[in-house]
Amino acid sequence: MRNTLLTTAFLGLTLIGLGQDVKEDSPVPRDSRKIQVLNLATFHMRPTPDENSVEFDNSDKEALMETRQISRLVAKFKPTVICVEIEPSENDKLNRAYNKFVTDSISDSSYAGEISLLAFEIGRLCKVDSIYGINHKMNYDYNINDKITNTLDPITFDAYNENPLLSAPNKVAQLNDMNTLNKLRTINEEDFLDFLIIENADMLTHVGTENNFEGADEAAKFYKRNLRMYSNLNRILMKKDDRVLIIMGGSHTAFFREFLKRSPKYQLVDIDEYLK
């Protein structure tokens, strides 16, 4: 039985090797059976209801010049499909705004921030036909701990929130001392993406009353939201040679990283290669 398992594992590795085209300029061998995906975490470059938001002044000419520089860097990926954090039901409106941006360089105020500054600009540079919304809105109570008496694991939960090195306000304060490019580089680091999942969902598993799961149930809603967003990505008809750029807030990017890296359909591309 053990020999059979080893043989099967070896055959699996051999088949994977046969399906890859190695390019000299790519640090990760390209799997020709999979669609290439660049998963870019950003912050909302517009007013947002998020409890801890990163500063960005879209009237600052230097900041706007930086976003154009970032767009040129990311455009080197040469996407053919661009996805953003907008509901799919808005796709017609979104693409009317995108087409107006391409032809007249006029930004629709409905899509201010990272959508026009990054997604529209990268689309224009790469002559992308359409932009796709993949968002799915679902509310969840991030502050459930304030509404119950936590008897599940208050020691861990309180210690986490009282640690200045782990707290969201401290992380945001550090980002606010950086220029836009360095903000994006930091947000896209593996450790920061892990932090976003822990902060926005996993810590809630330490919150609850006796024999109940109030925190876990709220965290599950956020997991469900991201799974539904990923399903919206999968609704888009794509070809094997398509190159997909996903631009979303960091917590969604963090979940998508987990889905994409074990996907039989997509291959995750190293974002560091495009933020140099």
pLDDT in tens, 104-136: 877 777 898 999 999 999 999 999 999 999 999
Q: Which residue has the tokens 């990760």?
A: 28
Please give the backbone phi and psi of residue 149, each rounded to the nearest 5 degrees, phi first.
Answer: -95, 105
> Each residue of 141-167: pLDDT tens digit?
999 999 999 999 999 999 999 987 777
Q: Where are the domains of the chain?
A: 35-276
Q: Is 217 exposed, middle or buried (0-12, 13-18, 19+ CB in 10 A)?
A: middle
pLDDT at 106: 75
Share of the chain above pLDDT 70, in %: 88
pTM of the predicted structure, to 2 decimals: 0.86
Tokens representing residue 8 in the block: 């099967």
3-state class of 15 per DSSP?
Answer: helix
Distances (CA, A) of 13 to 19, 76, 164: 10, 31, 44
d(CA 219, CA 204): 6
| Cβ-based neighbours of 239, under 8 Å, separated by 6 or more | 35
